Structure 1
Amino acid sequence: MSGICVFSVLVDVQGNPHDVQLVKAAAEEVSAKQRSAVQSLDQKGLEAVRQYRFQPATLHGKAVLYRVKTEVLIESTSGDGSGAGR
């Protein structure tokens, strides 16, 4: 199972993420039957983005806060070694 999540992130002057918001959930693109399973992918994406480090933006040579949107592709395997779900 896989899905693409889109997040909005406020990046501070050191390149650290803050105020990470889910803009588009992977669960939006699947059937209602699969939605609960895919929602866990959205959570994994959120956890990953909170660990990102960004290149700080600069204005007139000084680092500044900025907001960026980023897409995250999350892929999940079945975990049974069979390759199912890949």
Structure 2
Amino acid sequence: MSMPTNNEYRTADTVQDTTVEPRRSTSPVLLMLLAFAVTAAALIWWTQSRRATEAPVAALPAPVMDDANPPASERAAAANERTRAERAAATRPAPISRDARPMAGNADPKYPAAMLRAGVGGTVVVVAEVDAQGNPVDVRVVERSGERDLDRAAVNAVRQWRFEPAMRNGKAIATSVKVPVDFKSI
């Protein structure tokens, strides 16, 4: 007796369908239409973006001569006159205005030895009346440091200083200037 195989016990409804469905492919005509549509869209976008960046060119209308519009020669003469006036104004020196200020080479105030040893420091604000030549005429303390020796040293130093005089409308004038003097112990 022979043994039955597995295929013999199968019924007709249990048999698997072994047929393979064919793979669907896209029509070449459809692919060409898609490529054409993408190319056309890109070309339209490119031309519109170029038009937006280009400056439009317009033709100028022919000039109309009437009494309201002077001839070109008169307009040119008026423009030349304005240019000459602007050049003349530019060559005139502009009025300079500035406040008096201490010169860069002024000596630092001498720190009083007793204050330096004690480690005392502070800021003294001095007002100097400066003449038109830049020399201090009157010097006085307006904000004290709290130490008489520091105030005196600041006043003595500023009396020896030289200043750039204040300028108004291009001329040196006498004025007053506030000068802060710092004393810092190291």
Deviation at 1:75, TM superposition (A): 3.7
Aligned length, in residue pairs = 67
Q: Which runs of 4+ in 1 moved over 3 A?
A: none
Paired residue secondary structure (1:40):
helix
Q: Distance in 2 between matches of 1:19 and 1:55?
A: 16
1:23 aligns with 2:133: no
1:44 aligns with 2:163: no
Amino acid at match of 2:124: C
Specify which structure has the bigger relative contact order, considering alpha-carbon pairs within 8 angstroms and separated by 6 or more residues: 1
Amino acid at match of 1:5: V
Structure 1 unmatched runs, 5+: 28-37, 77-85
Paired residue secondary structure (1:26):
coil
**1:40-60 CA-partner distances (Å, limit 9, x unpaired):** 011001101101111111112
TM-score (norm 2): 0.34
1:10 aligns with 2:129: yes
Paired residue secondary structure (1:19):
strand
TM-score (norm 1): 0.71
Percent identity reads 42
Of 157, 176, 186, which residue of structure 2 is paired with 1:67?
176
Q: Distance in 2 between matches of 1:72 and 1:43?
A: 11
Q: Distance in 2 between matches of 1:75 and 1:48?
A: 16
Larger Rg: 2
Q: Distance in 2 between matches of 1:49 and 1:3?
A: 16
Paired residue secondary structure (2:152):
helix
Q: Distance in 1 between matches of 2:145 and 2:134?
A: 26
Structure with greater proportional strand content: 1
Q: Distance in 2 between matches of 1:44 and 1:73?
A: 11
RMSD: 1.2
